[in-house]
Amino acid sequence: MQVDSPINTFSLKCVTGIHPDTVNRWICNVLKRGVSDLNLFTDFSSTLVKLRITSEHCVDWWWHGGMVGESFSLPMLKSLHIDSGLIFCGEIEEFIPSFPALEELRMASMEWLESDVTVSSATLRRLTLHGTGCENYVNPISVSFDTPNLLFLSYYDLVAEDYPVVNMNKLFHAVINLIVTDKQVKRLREPNNELLLEDDDEEGNVFVHFGNVVKLMNGIQNVQKLSLTADTLEVLSQCSDTLPMFNNLKFLGITSEEGRGWQAMPALPKNCPRLETIILEGLSHYVTDECGDACPCISREDKGRSLSSCPVKRLEIQGFRATMKEMTMIKQFLEYFPCLKRMDVVVEDNEPTQLRNPELSKCVTEMFDLYNKLYPSCSVELMVSPFLQNKWREQGHI
């Protein structure tokens, strides 16, 4: 075949006598020449241990009557990464058994083709499922995880209506991003939303039941490290009264956004009796009456009650912008976290901050000095990188 001629379809069958490096060169060659349909049949695939597939385009990795079948198996494969511009995922409950030794699975930018999804594997140790969160796709009806030996979970996806099975008793670290649209958030905050039982709005959008998210939380309650996004906090507002106790949790990470609420925040600290470290990525959030006593946004008699039972020793606040609201929240944390020994307030290199104003910067520094005097049991430190300090100095800000 000509060296530079384009290739649309390429099939290769190797049984014996061909070195894998040679096959690899052939495959790389046809990929460079724009192949769109690639079929491989090799006998040495049975020894494959690690497989990574990367594409800037759509990957339809399995389908009815396609790759999945009795003849398809990678019996030694332990690690599978699929990164693509978009992955269409169907029949995953039939796909995963093709890898009986699989310990790590990562799929990014994915969309489910099935409305009921079950991820089942007794061998998986690490699982990363990142959906696109695109509003053009509907929320799955149900998502189940039957993964009894899973140690790490990173799960980003539109919220499912139900999580009927969540078997993760050995889970150590979880990163959860339950994606909701702005329209769904608006409905969540409406009075008498009835937990968004399926209903059509005037534009024909279907809103789903989010209260069953508590089943997912129940299934991961043994974790020692947990990170939740701003969307997830908003969703957990629908089941904050029934959240489980996280008796093993030592590390809690929370990401905040101005358009998402903190309604679930009061329940989290008091449900974590062994919590040691909290990292807050930003303090800005949508203020509601149900933010509770975790923040001072709304004056209330029981201010700080949920914090006072939390044993956290270290608190890190990232993305500090030196606003008055942030300073007030920092003071509340110092007052009501009874075991707090260390607070690091981090100014990010690329984030906007009022500390570029020399007078305000001096005022904030003095306030932090005062905090250290008023609360001597806790070390409070404003952390600015040397790069940012030098940049401000060059610009005459400090």
The number of CA neighbours under 13 Å toward the Cβ of 207 is 24
Q: Is 212 helix (H, G, I), strand (E, B) or coil?
A: coil
In angstroms, the CA 277 to CA 319 distance is 17
Structure tokens that stand for 146 in this block:
């039957």
Residues whose CB falls within 8 Å of the CB of residue 122, separated by 6 or more in sequence, listed in order: 147, 148, 149
pLDDT in tens, 213-254: 999 999 999 999 999 999 999 899 888 889 999 999 999 999
Model confidence at 358, in pLDDT bands (50, 70, 90)? confident
DSSP assignment letter at 289: G
Q: Compare 291 and 105 and report the one with higher pLDDT.
A: 105
Amino acid identity, position 74: L
Which pair of structure tokens corresponds to residue 162? 């139900």
Q: How far is residue 171's CA from residue 278's CA, in Å, rounded to a whole number?
A: 19
In single-letter form, the type of residue at position 29 comes to: N
Q: 352, 321 in Cβ contact below 8 A?
A: yes
Structure tokens of 126? 């690490």
The C-alpha R_g of the chain, in whole angstroms, comes to 25
Report the pLDDT averaged over residues 4-32: 75
What distance in Å separates the CA atoms of residue 398 and residue 391, rounded to the nearest whole number? 9
pLDDT tens profile 267-289: 898 899 999 999 999 998 888 77
Q: pLDDT of 34-86, one tens digit each? A: 776 767 666 656 777 888 877 666 656 554 444 444 456 788 999 988 877 67
